[in-house]
């Protein structure tokens, strides 16, 4: 079981309940970006975030659901989630925009993927909006391949009609 890893510049460890405020800041930052329309809305109230992160912290010893805090020195700059699926894991990630474009996501995800590979995991999938080019580039740089395109909707228009975007399913065979 992976509890923590150290990369060249980052400390990657399991999320704890005390991380809620930093993750709240990451979610609030994400909501202000152009890519927010491609994610499910997240309640960023203190009570909702505290409750959700407390639940995440309960999985600190789990291989079923793994939530990692990515820290630059002692500053939590992003998180990565791995959720077990039939064949392997599905990955999700989010980093504060102040730390985008510096290679931190690739470095931290690469470290975890390497540790998972050593534990015998052979498959990881990810979903992202095809118009979210930074995320698509990240996945491709990690070796993921686009295997499916689907229409996805998290929001509705003023008339209650779903607003769709093209989402990609990416897979990594390790």
| Residue labelled with tokens 């109230």 | 45
Distances (CA, A) of 13 to 34, 35, 90: 29, 26, 18
Mean pLDDT of 52-81: 97
Q: Nearest 10 degrees: CA dihedral of 35, 127, 105, 118?
A: 170
User: At residue 87, does pLDDT exceed 90?
Assistant: no
CA proximity to 93, closest of 139, 151, 28:
139
pLDDT at position 39 over 90 = no
Instruction: Provide the pLDDT confidence category of residue 154 given band limits of 50, 70 and 90.
Output: confident
Q: What does the pLDDT read at residue 35? A: 86
pLDDT at position 17 is 98
pLDDT value of position 41 = 86
∠ CA 60-50-107, nearest 5°, is 50
Q: In which element (H, E) is residue 171 found?
A: strand 162-173
Helix pair 104-118, 133-141: axis angle to 10 deg: 40
Instruction: Write out the CATH class of domain 4-122.
Output: alpha beta
Starting at the edge strand found earlier in the chain, the sheet holding 75-84 runs 4-6, 11-14, 65-72, 75-84, 89-95, 123-129, 162-173, 145-156
Please state the pTM of the whole predicted model: 0.94
User: Would the pLDDT of 163 be above 90?
Assistant: no
Position 156 scores a pLDDT of 84
Residue 112: how many other CB atoms lie within 10 Å: 23
pLDDT of 40: 85
* DSSP-derived secondary structure for 46-83: HHHHHHHHHHHHTTTT-SSEEEEEEEETTEEEEEEEEE
The mean per-residue pLDDT over the stretch 109-122 comes to 97
Q: How far apart are CA 170 and CA 148, in angstroms?
A: 7
Mean pLDDT, the chain, whole residue set: 95
168 pLDDT band, cuts 50/70/90, is very high
- Backbone phi and psi for residue 12, each to the nearest 5 degrees, phi listed first: -120, 120
Least confident of 26-40, 50-64, 106-120: 26-40
Which pLDDT score, from 0 to 100, does residue 153 have? 87
């Amino acid at each position: 079981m992976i509890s923590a890893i150290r990369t060249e510049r980052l400390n990657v460890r399991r999320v704890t309940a005390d991380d809620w405020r930093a993750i709240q800041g990451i979610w609030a930052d994400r909501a202000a970006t152009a890519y927010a329309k491609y994610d499910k809305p997240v309640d960023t109230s203190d009570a909702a975030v505290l409750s959700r992160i407390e639940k995440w912290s309960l999985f600190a010893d789990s291989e079923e659901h793994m939530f990692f805090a990515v820290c630059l020195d002692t500053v939590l700059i992003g998180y990565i989630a791995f959720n077990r699926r039939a064949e392997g894991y599905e990955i999700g990630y989010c980093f504060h925009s102040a730390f985008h474009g510096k290679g931190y996501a690739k470095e931290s995800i690469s470290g975890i993927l390497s540790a998972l590979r050593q534990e015998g995991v052979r498959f990881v999938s990810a979903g992202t909006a095809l118009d979210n080019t930074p995320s698509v580039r990240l996945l491709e740089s990690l070796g993921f391949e686009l295997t499916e395109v689907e229409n996805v909707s998290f929001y509705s228009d003023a008339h209650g009609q779903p607003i769709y975007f093209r989402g990609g399913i990416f897979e990594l065979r390790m």
